[in-house]
Amino acid sequence: MNPKKILSEWFIITFGTVVAASAVFFFLIPSHLAVGSISGLAIILANFIPLKISAITMGLNVALLVVGLIFIGRDFGIKTIYTSVLMPVVLAVLEILFPDMQSIMGDGFLDMLLYIFTVSIGLAILFNRNASSGGLDIIAKLLNKYLRMDLGKAMSLAGICTALTAALVYDAKTVLLSILGTYLNGIVLDHFIFGFNIRRRVCILSNKEADIEAFILHTLHSGATIYEPVGAYDHQIRREIITIVDKNEYIQLMNYISKTDPSAFVTVYNVNEVFYRPKIR
């Protein structure tokens, strides 16, 4: 990886961490919501430990970071060491800049919705760079790696216990909002990650199959598989092209097919995850 790509990689990771930390500080902390995250747990512990939330978050992140280094691997660990330190540092800076931060919306439910939307953007950016904001995200990544569980569901499972700890300090409304927020956070996170990773499996039957195949291979620089299905109506053998493309490639491919062979028969399927050798361009 050249220096520009390395710099871009770490800039994106930094941006994702700042977005996640800002969501915690501006929406989660003022409403005292323990939405499933390590910061949510820190909010609860701050009622018993005479430390700032940023300091408690740092301590909890370090403990879980050791687990991540052991079971997830060095690449994930190096990135998460950075984000695990940066997350509480950003929180500490925000605590200094806004020492008396109050609820922006003046309503716990609205704060929860804004937190979920904002933090999911940050976490999706980090997960798609094989990183994490630390804390419970590490547990979610473990569940995703070893149990093949969706990241959103893994986040919900890891966070539900944290949300329940709100019962130790706050009233029933806050506990319910924390649990609801944890559940919704998993759903929204899945949406953002799915949107980033989505691929499409395109199956094409066309009289111009040679032209379409050449376009896929030499213009899109993608791969394709050729099958020879038999039509049930006339029992004739045809050639079907099957390729998996990303969203930009899909648009180019469909535009080309519509111009080259408007009568082509095309079926499209969404693909959540693909393991393959990187393309050579």
Query: What is the residue-averaged pLDDT of the chain?
Result: 83
**pLDDT at residue 1 tops 70:** no
Residues contacting 199, CB < 8 A, separation 6+? 244, 245, 246, 270, 271, 272, 274
| 219 DSSP assignment | I
* pLDDT bucket at 129, cuts 50 / 70 / 90: confident
Q: Is the pTM of this model over 0.85?
A: no
Give the orientation angle of helix 53-71 with respect to helix 136-147, to 10 degrees: 20
CATH number attached to the domain at 197-269: 3.30.70.120
Residue type (1 letter), 162: T
- pLDDT (tens digit per residue) in 148-186: 777 667 767 777 877 888 788 888 888 888 888 877 877
CA-wise closest residue to 37 among 52, 50, 24: 24
Domain edges within the chain: 1-193, 197-269
* pLDDT bucket at 208, cuts 50 / 70 / 90: very high
In the chain, the DSSP E strands lie at 199-205, 225-227, 240-245, 265-271
Share of the chain above pLDDT 70, in %: 90
